[in-house]
């Protein structure tokens, strides 16, 4: 079962999408929103697996909404405009559907979301990788065998993740959520929507604006901890 939210300002468009989704019993619509502000509260409360998201919304755009979330569910964009397709893939985008939505295209998008979300299911604790686990990374023509303890930072790039170790930063075709579910949670901390940090590389923690914290890594990089994750960091370091 995939728990989904529809974010669409047109009542008629919401109804049409729900009609199309009736044949997809694996999709369970848990909430609807007609604006980004309402959607933001619903998504924080309901923690859906998937969002069907229009881009043109009253007040704020769909992109504005995604930028305010600490965690990104999978996203299927539903819009009448094709010019945002490239920008959409800066997010955890499954597909980009143009209105009027074609049933076959919707079915293909749902199939993609099942594959993505299925792969992202948490592994049992026993299946998590240890600090000394080595992973194979390939980016273009370059390859590395990297020990996890040498990786200081993972950064989301849509459906890809950039890995930072030594002076290298290749991309891999895995979402940040998929990686988080396999990493040792005592060593790797999700600090915001886009980044996971190896706590052994943290050299200082500073109070920041709006109840946030700022981390400085021993490589000099600065990283902001979202309000949602501050309590975990304080607990980890007894702050």
Last residue of a domain, one of 80, 100, 119: 119
Residues 40 and 130 in one domain: no
193 and 233 both lie in a single domain: yes
**Is 158 within 8 Å of 202 (Cβ atoms)?**
no
Residue-level length of the chain: 239
- Whether the CB-CB separation of 151 and 217 falls below 8 Å is answered with no
Short-list 67, 25, 70, 34, CA closest to 52: 34
pLDDT at res. 236: 76
Is residue 228 within 8 A of residue 236, CB to CB? The reply is no
Q: Which residues contact 12 (CB under 8 A, 6 or more apart)?
A: none
Q: How far apart are CA 154 and CA 179, in angstroms?
A: 9
The CATH number covering residue 60 comes to: 3.40.50.2300
Kindly give the confidence (pLDDT) of every residue in the chain, 239 residues in length, as a single tens digit, with 9 standing for 90 and above.
899 999 999 999 999 999 999 999 999 999 999 999 999 999 988 889 899 999 999 999 999 998 888 677 889 999 999 888 888 877 768 899 999 999 999 999 999 888 877 644 443 344 577 888 877 787 777 778 788 999 999 999 887 899 999 999 998 878 888 888 889 888 999 999 899 999 999 999 888 777 788 999 999 999 999 888 888 888 877 76
Report d(CA 149, CA 151) in Å as an integer. Answer: 6
What is the pLDDT at residue 60? 94
Helices (H), 120-164: none
Distance CA 216, CA 19 (A): 50
Structural domain for 176, as ranges: 126-237
14 plus 109 within the same structural domain: yes
Q: Of the residues 85, 119, 153, which one is the last residue of a structural domain?
A: 119
Last residue of a domain, one of 119, 148, 169: 119
**Domains identified in the chain, total number:** 2
| Cβ pair 208, 161 in contact under 8 A | no
| Helix, strand, coil share (%) of the chain residues, nearest 5 | 35, 35, 35
State whether 55 and 142 are in the same domain. Answer: no
Residues 156 and 213 placed together within one structural domain of the fold: yes
- What residues are paired with 1 via a beta bridge? none
Residues 10, 53 contacting (CB under 8 angstroms)? no
Q: Which residues make Cβ contacts (< 8 Å) with residue 131, sequence separation at least 6?
A: 147, 148, 149, 184, 187
């Amino acid at each position: 079962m995939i728990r989904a939210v529809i974010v669409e300002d047109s009542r008629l468009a919401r109804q049409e999408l729900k009609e199309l989704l009736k044949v997809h019993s694996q999709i369970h619509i848990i909430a609807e929103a007609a604006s980004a502000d309402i959607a933001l509260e619903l998504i924080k409360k309901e923690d859906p697996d998937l969002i069907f998201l229009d881009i043109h919304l009253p007040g704020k755009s769909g992109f504005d909404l995604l930028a305010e979330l600490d965690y990104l569910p999978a996203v299927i964009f539903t819009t009448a405009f094709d010019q945002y397709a490239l920008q959409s893939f800066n997010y955890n985008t499954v597909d980009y559907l143009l209105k009027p939505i074609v049933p076959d295209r919707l079915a293909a998008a749902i199939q993609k979301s099942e594959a993505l979300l299925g792969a992202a299911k948490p592994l049992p604790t026993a299946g998590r990788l240890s600090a000394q686990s080595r992973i194979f990374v390939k980016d273009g023509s370059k390859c590395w065998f990297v020990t996890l303890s040498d990786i200081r930072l993972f950064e989301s790039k849509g459906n890809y993740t950039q890995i930072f170790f030594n002076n290298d930063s290749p991309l891999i075709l895995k979402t940040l959520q998929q990686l988080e579910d396999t990493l040792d949670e005592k060593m790797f901390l999700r600090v915001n929507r886009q980044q996971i940090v190896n706590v052994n590389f943290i050299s200082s923690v500073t109070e920041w604006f709006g109840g946030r914290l700022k981390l400085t890594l021993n490589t000099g990089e600065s990283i902001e901890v979202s309000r949602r994750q501050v309590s975990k960091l304080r607990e980890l370091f007894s702050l």
